[in-house]
Amino acid sequence: MEPVHRIHLGNAWEPPAPGAGGGWRRHFGLPSGLGPGTQVWLVIEQPMTCGVVLNTHALPAAVAGAEYRHEVGGLLAQRNELVLLPWAMPAATETAATERGRQPLPAVCGRVWLEIAEPVS
């Protein structure tokens, strides 16, 4: 399968509540144009070690420094919630919040995207 489209999830993350633990949350809609045989991969480039949850489904943990790649097409819904649960968060990870209180994901968490691949004919 060849990647045909990437959807970057770099901005609009909801940070963990202060002192409550929890994780960074990102909501997104169902990508358009998905057909039979289309694969959707969740990719995290250079993550820190963290738990990964998509729509209440726990996925394998991301390991620090190794590219994370997991096929998630069967877990997607019209509205989706991705949660990254860092095992240890460095103290200096503050970023500028947007008007809705959302922030870019801190760089130490890695870059996150969905990669959509169509079957090869």
Asked whether residue 113 is assigned to any structural domain, the reply reads yes
pLDDT score at 42: 97
Total structural domains within the chain = 1
Asked whether residue 95 is assigned to any structural domain, the reply reads no
Q: Is pLDDT above 90 for 116? A: yes
Reported as a pLDDT band with limits 50, 70 and 90, residue 118 is: confident
Contacts of residues 52-58 at CB distance under 8 Å and 24 or more positions apart, as own/partner, are: 52/82, 52/83, 52/84, 52/85, 53/23, 53/82, 53/83, 53/85, 54/80, 54/81, 54/82, 54/83, 55/80, 55/81, 56/81
pLDDT score at 93: 47
Asked whether residue 97 is assigned to any structural domain, the reply reads no
Asked whether residue 99 is assigned to any structural domain, the reply reads no
CATH number of the domain to which 40 belongs: 2.60.120.260
pLDDT in tens, 49-93: 999 999 999 999 999 999 999 999 999 999 999 999 988 655 444
Supply the range of the domain harboring residue 46: 2-90+104-118
Asked whether residue 33 is assigned to any structural domain, the reply reads yes
CA distances from 32 to 12, 19, 25, 76 (A): 20, 37, 21, 12
**Percent of the chain at pLDDT exceeding 90:** 55
Asked whether residue 98 is assigned to any structural domain, the reply reads no
pLDDT score at 55: 97
